[in-house]
């Protein structure tokens, strides 16, 4: 019998991370997203007026070992009979004050990408709830956007992923998906998994370097180390990953106001006057 994932293109696993883990992650993310990397490499990069990302979160997050989380997610993939997948990319996002929905679309990507999302904060109807049209991963999609009238016809198949923070969502990005407006804060983790041969043959599509810190190489990680040997090359420049925008985000994407305020703060600290509000 086919799994719900293979039928629907999406599956939810509630309580994947504990309440304690989520509370610790929220506290840590509040700090990491409080500044851009103008203040140091541990902070965030601004991708737009609404979205920031902490690059290479596997070495930035300390309260939870994200490499071990990736191992646990991979075990869920194996239960769904996806056994030869590698961790291709990990991202940590912060979004708020965004009045725009993410337009319904298909990523139209070959290769069998499976994306995992865990919302740390927000993820409700006013804070970027993810949405997916169940079963659309099986369609022959030739255009990235659904045809007129399609969403109304399929409204009973739209899954809104506004479950409790810490839930895991696995989905096929070929299926039509979207995201609600994000006026309130949404913080989320994203893990992408792909077959090794696809990563090797498509070096600039989705995959990126997975940063491994010696402090995070636990026995569990060592036992599953092959998961992180993903074939990504040193010169990979996949769009929408730190491997690309570290060369294309001057001043970490900060606005002129942020740049001026950061230099003010650093200057006043140097002369002993503390923090600028």
CATH code where residue 194 lies: 2.60.120.620
Q: What is the DSSP string of the chain?
A: ---HHHHHSEEEETTSS-HHHHHHHHHHHHHHTSSBGGG-TTSBEE-SSSEEE-SSHHHH--SS-HHHHHHHHHHHHHHTT--SEEEEEEEEEEE-SB-SPEEEE-----S--EEEEEEEE--STTBT-EEEETTGGGS---SSSPPTTHHHHTGGGEEEE---TT-EEEEETTS-EEE--BSS-EEEEEEEEEEHHHHHH-TTSS-------GGG--HHHHHTGGGG-----TT---TTSHHHHTTT-GGGG--HHHHHHHHHHHHHHHTT-----
189 within a domain of the structure (yes/no)? yes
265 within a domain of the structure (yes/no)? no
271 within a domain of the structure (yes/no)? no
Question: Which has more pLDDT, 171 or 39?
Answer: 171
268 within a domain of the structure (yes/no)? no
pLDDT at 206 over 80: no
Give the domain range for residue 127: 4-249
For residue 118, the cross-strand partners are 168, 189
Q: What is the pLDDT of residues 43-61, one digit of tens each?
A: 788 888 899 999 899 999 9
270 within a domain of the structure (yes/no)? no
Q: What is the pLDDT of residues 214-227, one digit of tens each?
A: 999 999 999 999 99
pLDDT at 275 over 70: no
Question: Residue 1 — pLDDT band, cuts 50, 70, 90?
Answer: very low
State how many domains the chain has. Answer: 1
Please give the pLDDT value at position 252.
Answer: 52
- Residue 12: Cβ within 10 Å count: 15
Give the tokens for residue 17.
């991370």
Least confident of 26-30, 172-176, 181-185, 270-274: 270-274
258 within a domain of the structure (yes/no)? no
Please give the pLDDT value at position 277.
Answer: 47
Instruction: Look up the pTM and report it.
Output: 0.86
Place of tokens 């002993």: 272
Q: How far from the centroid of its chain's Cα atoms is residue 179's Cα?
A: 13
Give the tokens for residue 172.
């096929």
Q: What is the pLDDT of residues 113-155, one digit of tens each?
A: 999 999 999 999 999 999 999 999 999 888 999 999 999 999 9
Please give the pLDDT value at position 243.
Answer: 56
Please give the pLDDT value at position 230.
Answer: 84
144 within a domain of the structure (yes/no)? yes
264 within a domain of the structure (yes/no)? no
Q: What is the pLDDT of residues 229-247, one digit of tens each?
A: 887 766 666 656 665 555 5
């Amino acid at each position: 019998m086919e799994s719900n994932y293979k039928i629907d293109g999406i599956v939810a696993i509630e309580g994947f991370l504990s309440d304690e883990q989520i509370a610790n992650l929220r506290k840590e993310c509040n700090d990491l997203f409080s500044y851009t990397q103008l203040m140091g490499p541990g902070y965030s990069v601004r991708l737009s007026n609404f979205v920031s990302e902490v690059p290479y979160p596997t070495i930035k997050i300390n309260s939870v070992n994200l490499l071990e989380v990736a191992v646990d997610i991979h075990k869920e993939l194996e239960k769904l009979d996806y056994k030869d997948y590698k961790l291709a990319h990990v991202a940590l996002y912060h979004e708020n004050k965004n009045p725009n929905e993410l337009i319904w679309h298909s990523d139209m990507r070959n290769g069998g990408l499976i994306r995992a999302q865990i919302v740390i904060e927000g993820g409700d109807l006013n804070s970027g709830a993810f949405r997916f049209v169940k079963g659309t991963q099986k369609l022959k999609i030739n255009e990235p956007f659904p045809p007129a009238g399609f969403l109304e016809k399929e409204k009973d198949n739209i899954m809104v992923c506004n479950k409790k923070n810490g839930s895991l969502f696995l989905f096929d990005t070929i299926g039509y998906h979207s995201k609600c407006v994000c006026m309130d804060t949404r913080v989320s983790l994203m893990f992408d998994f792909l077959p090794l041969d696809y990563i090797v043959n498509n070096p600039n599509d989705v995959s990126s370097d997975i940063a491994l810190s010696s402090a995070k190489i636990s026995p569990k990680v060592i036992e599953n180390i092959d998961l992180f040997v993903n074939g990504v090359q040193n010169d990979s420049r996949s769009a929408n990953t730190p491997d690309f925008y570290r060369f294309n985000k001057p001043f970490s994407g900060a606005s002129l106001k942020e740049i001026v305020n950061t230099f003010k703060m650093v200057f006043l600290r140097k002369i002993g006057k503390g923090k600028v509000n």
